[in-house]
A and B are shown apart, each in its own frame.
Chain A
Amino acid sequence: MTGVVPMVADPPVPGTPGGVRRRARLRAITLESGAPDRAAAWYRRALGLADADPLLTAGGVELRFTLGTSDAPYTGEPARIILNFLVDDIRAAEARLVALEAVWVRELERTRWGIIGTVLDLDGNYVQIVEPTPDSPACLQRKEEQP
């Protein structure tokens, strides 16, 4: 994260042929785990989701877990991919993570992005909880489906 910089839109990208009209939707993320069921249960508790839900979704994005093939127990480069979960009540989210005895990489702090805290999931991935403020960048606000 760097200092305060005004939001500047990139110049429009020239149209590209190919017949693809609607932008792709990021509908799921697949996380490899040494113990996928345990990992899924951790996310359910961390996010406060009901165990009965057949799919583990967070705001329209499904979290999928597959059995890892790597011998390494933890992610070697956790900053490679970071999951940012938007929450309405950061203290409630923090309490769920404390109850899980999650390892905190960064305890809650107020930033230009809102209030953010970072923990490790069971496989060593960085998971951030974010309570955005009205001034937070658009990319950190809750979204509606694109038309």
Chain B
Amino acid sequence: MATPALGSILLGTTNPHRLRDWYTAALTPGDAGGGFTEVTPTMFACTFGDTSLLIDGRDDVADKNSAPGRVILNFHVDDARATADHLNALGVTWLVELEEREGGLFGTLVDPDGNYVQIIELKG
């Protein structure tokens, strides 16, 4: 029997289209597959490696995440500096700009709902 897999992480939001567009622009640039697919008119899914991000329009969350540090999504990228340049061109909000730490390059973004998104390039 296979070990349970974190098959998806669902982000509840009052504005799923805005959040989908942000993640598409930020993390799937030039993606031939188009990034997110529509699961329902208010739910979108995109695979990022071994798991999916689900963006779900809901009415049981506020417009902004009032406690964003409680959960952080950690995305690994091949070239963090190129990713940061791309993100800067998009005008994203950084909580912590890309910096070199032990282990690699790390930067933390804030998505339009206020969720924290970490970009990581580990040293080989």
Cross-chain contact B27 with A77 (CB below 8 angstroms):
no
Q: Note all chain A residues with C-beta closer than 8 A to B31.
A: 13, 23
For window 52-104 of chain B, which residues contact chain A by CB distance below 8 Å? 52-54, 58, 60-62, 65-67, 69-79, 82-83, 85-86, 89
Residue of A nearest to B57 (CB): A2
Cross-chain contact B28 with A23 (CB below 8 angstroms):
yes
Residue of A nearest to B37 (CB): A9
Please classify how large the interface on chain B is, using the bins under 10, 10 to 19, 20 to 34, 35 or more. 35 or more
The 21 sampled A-B contact pairs (Cβ below 8 Å) are A2-B40, A2-B42, A9-B34, A10-B34, A10-B36, A18-B83, A18-B89, A19-B79, A22-B78, A25-B48, A26-B9, A26-B53, A30-B118, A58-B4, A69-B69, A81-B70, A137-B45, A139-B47, A143-B51, A143-B52, A144-B50
Asked if A24 meets B6 with Cβ closer than 8 Å, knowing A7-B37, A146-B47, the reply is no
Residue pairs across A and B with CB atoms within 8 Å: the count is 242
Q: Note all chain B residues with C-beta closer than 8 A to A55.
A: none
Cross-chain contact A20 with B79 (CB below 8 angstroms):
yes
For window 14-47 of chain A, which residues contact chain B by CB distance below 8 Å? 15-32, 47
Residue of B nearest to A49 (CB): B3
Q: Is B43's CB within 8 Å of the partner chain A?
A: yes
Cross-chain contact B48 with A26 (CB below 8 angstroms):
yes
Q: Note all chain A residues with C-beta closer than 8 A to B49.
A: 23-27, 60-61, 143, 145-146
Asked if A140 meets B9 with Cβ closer than 8 Å, knowing A27-B74, A88-B2, the reply is no
Q: Is A87's CB within 8 Å of the partner chain B?
A: yes
Cross-chain contact A29 with B71 (CB below 8 angstroms):
yes
Q: Is A12's CB within 8 Å of the partner chain B?
A: yes
Q: Note all chain B residues with C-beta closer than 8 A to A20.
A: 29-30, 77-79, 82-83, 86
